[in-house]
Structure 1
Amino acid sequence: MAWLSLVLFLPWFVLLGTLYWLFPRQPRGPSRRLFDGVALVLAFALSILAMLWGHHLGGVQSDAGPIWRQVLAVLYAYGAFLAVMVAAILLRGPLLARCSTKAASKPAAGSP
């Protein structure tokens, strides 16, 4: 039953991940695709771990109701996914700009 929160939030994660992948449209080089792919896989993996952790914590609290496990699992999963996505958005610009300036400053293969 711990996986219910992931099943319910999977369409929303797909929508947010698609928007992250598609925008901004330019520049889109191999380094950006690699960075975005790693960020999306990391966000999904950490979301699963946070969901399992939240489900476990919800079951440990004896004074909480039975629905609390699912609520906590959803909150933790969504929070982890958004945390990774926000960090990736904030880091993507500076990191890829630095990579592109390094690539632009390298001399071409045939130039003296």
Structure 2
Amino acid sequence: MNETVQLNLAFILFLPWYVILAVLYCAYPSWPRTRARWAFDVGSLALATVATVASTQLSVRFGDTSVDAMWPQVLATAVSYGVFLGVMTLAFFVRRNFLRKAPQ
């Protein structure tokens, strides 16, 4: 298997689920749709993507293969999913407070 694909396999396999979560994050709440919210959403998704890819790669590189050769991929999947959910959850609550204070 190509080394680049192997390094990012956990991210690639979870990519459809990350897209579904990103669409749900952007769709709710449906109001207000301002440029500031759009910019915040794009920034949050970009930060989540970078953090997820970085955590995937670090987990694969530092996963212990003495137990099983598949363990680094399992570790990378769990860690990257947790990182993605953590960033998106934090962004959701920050955005909620941001929208309350935004001028209407």
Provide TM-score, normalisation by structure 2.
Answer: 0.89
- State the Cα deviation string for residues 30-54 of structure 1 (Å, max 9, x = none): 1100111100111011000000111
Assess if the C-alpha contact under 8 Å between 1:4 and 1:70 holds in 2: yes
Matched, 1:47 2:37: no
Q: Which residue of 1 aligns with 2:71?
A: 68
The answer on whether the counterparts of 1:6 and 1:77 sit within 8 Å (CA) in structure 2 is: yes
Q: Which consecutive unaligned segments of at least 5 residues does structure 1 have?
A: 105-112
Q: Does 1:29 align with 2:34?
A: yes
Aligned to 1:19: 24
Q: Which amino acid aligns with 1:5?
A: A
* Residues 31 and 96 in structure 1, CA contact (< 8 A), matched pair in contact too: no
Q: Structure 1 residues 62 and 14, CA, compared in 2 at 3 Å: closer, same or farther?
A: closer
Shift of 1:99: 2.9
User: What is the CA distance between 1:2 and its match in structure 2?
Assistant: 1.5
TM superposition shift of 1:62: 5.0
Counterpart of 1:13 in structure 2: which amino acid?
Answer: Y
Specify the alignment match of 1:110 in structure 2: none
Q: How far apart are residue 3 of structure 1 and its match?
A: 1.1
- Partner of residue 88, structure 2: 85
- Alignment: residue pair count: 99
- Consecutive aligned runs of 4 or more in structure 1 exceeding 3 Å deviation: none
**1:107 aligned residue:** none
Of the two, which has the highest radius of gyration? 1
Normalised to the residue count of structure 1, the TM-score between the two structures is 0.83
1:96 corresponds to 2:102: no
Instruction: Describe the SS at the equivalent of 2:102.
Output: helix
